[in-house]
Amino acid sequence: MKIFILITAVIELVAGMTLFLAPEMVPDLSGEGPVSLTLARMYGGAAIAVGYYALMVWRNFNPGPVSGFLKTFAVFHLAVAAAAYAGYIQGVNSFIGVAFLHGILAIVTIYYLVKSNRNAV
């Protein structure tokens, strides 16, 4: 689980920094207007925050922070997967990859959440 938390931290920090500092480098955002780029930067800021949170949980690995991390990240990944899937349904075909990635991360997060709750009983 600790390795999963570190991988999650790295993914979110890299994605967040890219979207925050250079959203126009993302192929689907090149040529977009200021509203789209600002929204991408806002998501980038959120991704940096959750990536930092994951990094702190990884560094200070113990049951309390891990439980909070798993609950928070399950909600985060499910919400992003749902939003990306909604974008895909509306015709943004490239969002299916985002929906799939966050869906997989949600499933793995929920798996660890259930597993950690079973071990706590």
Total domains present in the chain: 1
| Cα–Cα distance measured from residue 43 to residue 60, given in angstroms and rounded to the nearest whole number | 26
Give the tens place of pLDDT for each residue, 69-82. Answer: 999 999 999 999 99
Low-confidence ranges of the chain (pLDDT < 50): none
Q: Are 81 and 97 in contact (CB under 8 A)?
A: no
Predicted model pTM: 0.83
pLDDT at 94: 84
| Distances from the Cα of 106 to the Cα of 20, 62, 83, angstroms | 23, 21, 13
DSSP state string for 22-82: -GGGSGGGTT--HHHHHHHHHHHHHHHHHHHHHHHHHHT-SHHHHHHHHHHHHHHHHHHHH
- With CA atoms as reference, report the closest residue to 113 among 78, 74, 84: 74
Q: In terms of residue numbers, what domain contains 54? A: 2-120
